[in-house]
Chains A and B, each alone.
Chain A
Amino acid sequence: MSTRVVLDRSDIARALTRIAHEILERNKGPGDVLVLGIPTRGVPLATRVAATMTSVEGVEVPAGALDITMYRDDLRLQPARALARTEIPPRGVDDAVVVLVDDVLFSGRTIRAALDALNDVGRPRAVQLAVLVDRGHRQLPIRADFVGKNLPTSLTETVQVRLQEYDGVDSVAISAGRG
Chain B
Amino acid sequence: MKSHLLSTGDLTKGDALRVLDTAAELRSLADRPIKKLPTLRGRTVVNLFFEDSTRTRISFEAAAKRLSADVINFSAKGSSVSKGESLKDTALTLEAMGADAVVIRHGSSGAPHRLASSGWVRSSVINAGDGTHEHPTQALLDAFTMRRHLGDLDGRRVAIVGDVLHSRVARSNALLLSTLGAEVTLVAPPTLLPVGVSSWPVATSYDLDAALEKTDVVMMLRVQRERMNAAFFPSAREYSRRYGLDDRRFARLPDHAIVMHPGPMNRGMEIAANVADSHRSVIVEQVTNGVAVRMAVLYLLLSGADTTEHAAGEPTA
Contacts and interface: CB of A to CB of B under 8 A. Distances in A.
Interface in B23-41: 25-26, 28, 32-34, 36-39
B304 A78 contact: yes
A36 to B, nearest CB: 15
Contact of B36 (A75, A81, A120): A120
A83 B303 contact: no
A120 B28 CA distance: 13
Main secondary structure of the interface of B (DSSP, over half): loop
A116 B38 contact: yes
A80 B300 contact: yes
Contacts of B301: 80
A137 B28 contact: no
Interface stretch (B175-183, B196-204, B307-315): B307-315
Contact of A78 (B1, B28, B36, B310): B310
Interface string B270-313: 00000000000000000000000000000111011100001100
A121 B21 contact: no
A107 B316 CA distance: 6
A110 B303 contact: no
Nearest to A74: B316
A70 B39 contact: yes
Contact of A137 (B32, B33, B315): B315
B31 to A, nearest CB: 10
A119 to B, nearest CB: 8
Contacts of B22: 82-83
Given A67-B25, A82-B18, A110 B305 contact: no
Given A77-B311, A107-B316, A122-B33, A83 B21 contact: yes
A80 B299 contact: yes
Contacts of B21: 82-83
A116 B18 CA distance: 25
A171 B301 CA distance: 36
A48 interface: no
Contacts of A77: 305, 310-311, 314
A159 to B, nearest CB: 8
B317 A71 contact: no
B71 to A, nearest CB: 18
A86 B304 CA distance: 21
A120 B315 contact: no
Given A82-B22, A83-B25, A74 B314 contact: yes
A168 to B, nearest CB: 22
Contact of A86 (B28, B34, B305, B314): B28
B317 A110 contact: yes
B22 to A, nearest CB: 5
A177 to B, nearest CB: 10
A85 B25 contact: yes
Given A75-B39, A80-B301, A105-B317, 12 more contacts: A70-B67, A74-B314, A75-B304, A78-B304, A80-B299, A80-B300, A83-B25, A85-B25, A106-B315, A109-B317, A116-B38, A120-B34
6 contacts: A74-B314, A74-B316, A81-B303, A83-B26, A116-B38, A137-B315
